[in-house]
């Protein structure tokens, strides 16, 4: 059981900042040094690391969306990846209609926000207090539904979307794609904006309060249900960012392109801790780099990537169920 002197002090402590023990930071520091030394030793290693970080950022953004929703409503949203995929198709359509890439990007974020909020209001709210299983199944239903709708409107075939970045530059002998640098920049920028929103605005405080101490927040005059719906909207925005940034790295747009990303986002979220937003982003980056290096240097275990990633994950769950950065979850009796 957790004891708190004042709800607000507790909130500050459990804000968006990283939690976690010294050993975890040492582990991370060790990993970073390993990557740095590797990059200086070998250009191939460097290239694998950079592209791994870029897609890892996309996994991290999607994982952050999952974590925001989990913190707010204790729902594991299986539809998060498909929602990101659907919003990427919307961006594609807007570009087809003549908008420039970044106009479409901005418009899509707005649409995603409305979509996410609406979903919470219409289908999640009635089931969120019922049970973990009910909410999981509704999100699974949404997964299938969104998939069907996208297939219905745009067809199941491959589409080609304009890439926002092209070309490359040279950094100490390592050829770095603008695309990867751009992905990292855009995703991490958006994550920082969301962090600032939560940390420094009154709305953010309200959302955190509604998620973590709903009863106390309601007493303090926070409209808890609106805050939860807005949380879903924000998560959808983060998902849309992940989708639109992940798509150019895959070169093709198909209705299934976010499914693998969702699997890795789940892994990232558990790795970092389902309750830890910062952990989700770090977890995403770690998994992106790890998978890339694995594929590059140990191709003979190519089919074991997924089982291996999940074996590590299960081990972490068993040793430290709250993830690398999470605190022990308060059990709800």
Partner 1 sequence: MRGRLPALGSIAAVAVLIAVLPFTLSSYNVSLVAQVGIFFVAVLGLNILTGYSGQISIGHGAFMAIGGYTSAVMSRDHHTNLIVTMLMAFAICFVLGLLVGLPALRLSGAYLALATFALAISVPQLPLQWSTFLGGTGGVQSHTTVSDRWIYGAAWSCSAILFLLAWLILRGRVGRAFRAVRDSEIAATASGIELSLYKTLAFGISAAYAGVAGVLFVMATNGFAQPTEFGIILSLQILIGAAVAGLGSLWGILAGAAFVGLLPQVSTSVPVIGSDHGRDVVFGLMVVLVMLALPDGFAGLLARLRALVRA
Partner 2 sequence: MAVNRKKLGALLCALAVGIAVASTAAASHSGTPGVTKKQIVIGGTFPYTGGASLYKTIPTAEQAYFAYVNAKGGVNGRTIKDITKDDAYNPAQTVPAVQQLVEQDHVFAIVGSLGTAPGLATWGYLNQNKVPQVLLATGDAYWGNCVHHACDGSTKPWTTGWQPDYPGEAKLYAKYILKTKPSAKIGVLYQNDAYGKNYLTGLKTGLGSNKGQIVDAEPYNFGDSAQVVGAHVGALEAHGADTVVIFATPTASIQALATLAILHWSPLTILNNVSANRLFMLAAAQNGASLNGVVSTTYIQSQTATPSTKGMKLAKKIIDSVGSASLSQDFAAGDNNLVYGLAVGYTFVDALKHAGQNPTRASFMKALRNLDETKNPFIYPGMSVQTSKKRTFPMEQLILEKWAGGGTGDWGTFGKIASGLK
Contact set with partner 1 (CB under 8 A) = 70, 74, 76, 78, 123, 126-127, 130, 132-134, 136-138, 140-149, 151-152, 156, 263, 266-267, 270, 274, 301-307, 310-311, 313-314, 317-318, 321, 333
Q: Look at residue 48 and give the partner it binds from partner 1, partner 2, none, a contact being a CB closer than 5 to 8 Å depending on partner kind.
A: partner 2
The DSSP 8-state label assigned to residue 120 in this structure reads I
Which two three-digit tokens encode residue 160? Answer: 């080609």
The option from partner 2, partner 1, none interacting with 314 (CB < 5 to 8 A, set by class) reads partner 1
Which position has the token pair 């023990």?
Answer: 21
- Mapping DSSP to helix (H, G, I), strand (E, B) and coil, where does residue 1 land? coil
Following DSSP, what letter does each residue of 33-76 receive, concatenated?
A: HHHHHHHHH-HHHHHHHHHHHHHHHHHHHHHHHHHHHHHHH---
Query: What residues numbered 89-148 form the site for partner 2, per CB under 8 A?
Result: none
Neighbours of 35 (CB within 10 A): 18
Cα–Cα separations (whole angstroms), residue 64 to 38, 94, 274: 28, 26, 9
Instruction: Kindly give, in sequence order, each residue whose CB lies less than 8 Å from that of residue 158, ignoring residues fewer than 6 positions away.
Output: 252, 253, 254
Residue 251 in 3-state DSSP?
A: coil
- Spell out, one character per residue from 208 to 247, where the chain touches partner 2: x when CB under 8 A holds, - when not: ----------------------------------------
Nearer to partner 1, 204 or 239 (CB): 239
Task: Give CB contacts under 8 A, 24+ apart, made by 31-37.
Answer: 31/286, 35/289
Shortest Cβ distance from residue 88 to partner 2 (Å)?
15
Q: Taking CB under 8 A as the rule, does residue 157 contact partner 2? A: yes
In the bound state with partner 2, the residue whose beta carbon lies nearer, of 52 and 272, is: 52
Q: Does 168 interact with partner 2 (rule: CB under 8 A)?
A: yes
Nearer to partner 2, 158 or 192 (CB): 158
Burial class (CB in 10 A: 0-12, 13-18, 19+), 282: buried
* Contact footprint for partner 2 (CB under 8 A): 44, 47-48, 51-52, 55, 151, 155-158, 160, 163, 166, 168, 175, 177, 249-252, 254-256, 260-261, 288, 291-293, 295-297, 299, 302-303, 305
């Amino acid at each position: 059981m957790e004891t708190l002197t004042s709800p607000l002090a507790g909130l500050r402590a459990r804000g968006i900042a990283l939690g976690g023990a010294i050993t975890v930071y040492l582990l991370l520091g060790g990993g970073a040094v390993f990557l740095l030394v590797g990059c200086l030793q070998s250009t191939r290693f460097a290239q694998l690391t950079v592209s791994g970080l870029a897609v890892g950022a996309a996994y991290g953004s999607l994982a952050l969306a999952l974590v925001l929703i989990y913190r707010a409503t204790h729902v594991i949203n299986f539809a998060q990846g498909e929602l990101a995929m659907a919003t990427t198709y919307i961006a594609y359509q807007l570009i087809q209609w003549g908008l420039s890439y970044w106009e479409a990007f901005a418009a899509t974020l707005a649409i995603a926000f409305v979509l996410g909020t609406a979903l919470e209001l219409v289908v999640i709210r009635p089931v969120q207090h019922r049970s973990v299983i009910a909410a999981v199944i509704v999100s699974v239903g949404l997964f299938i539904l969104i998939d069907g709708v996208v297939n219905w409107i745009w067809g199941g075939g491959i589409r080609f979307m304009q890439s926002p970045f092209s070309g490359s530059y040279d950094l100490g002998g390592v050829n770095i794609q603008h695309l990867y640098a751009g992905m990292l920049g855009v995703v991490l920028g958006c994550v920082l904006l969301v962090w600032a929103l939560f940390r420094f605005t009154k709305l953010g405080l309200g959302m955190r309060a509604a998620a973590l101490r709903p009863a106390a927040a309601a007493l303090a005059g926070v409209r808890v249900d609106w805050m939860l719906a807005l949380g879903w909207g924000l998560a959808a925005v983060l998902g849309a960012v992940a989708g639109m940034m992940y798509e150019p790295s895959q070169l093709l747009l198909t209705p299934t392109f976010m499914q693998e990303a969702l699997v890795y986002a789940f892994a990232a979220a558990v790795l970092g801790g389902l309750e830890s937003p910062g952990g989700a982003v770090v977890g995403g980056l770690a998994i992106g780099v790890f998978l890339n290096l694995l594929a590059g240097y140990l191709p003979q275990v190519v089919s074991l990537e997924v089982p291996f990633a999940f074996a590590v994950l299960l081990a972490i769950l068993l040793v430290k169920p709250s993830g690398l950065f999470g605190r022990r979850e308060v059990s709800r009796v």
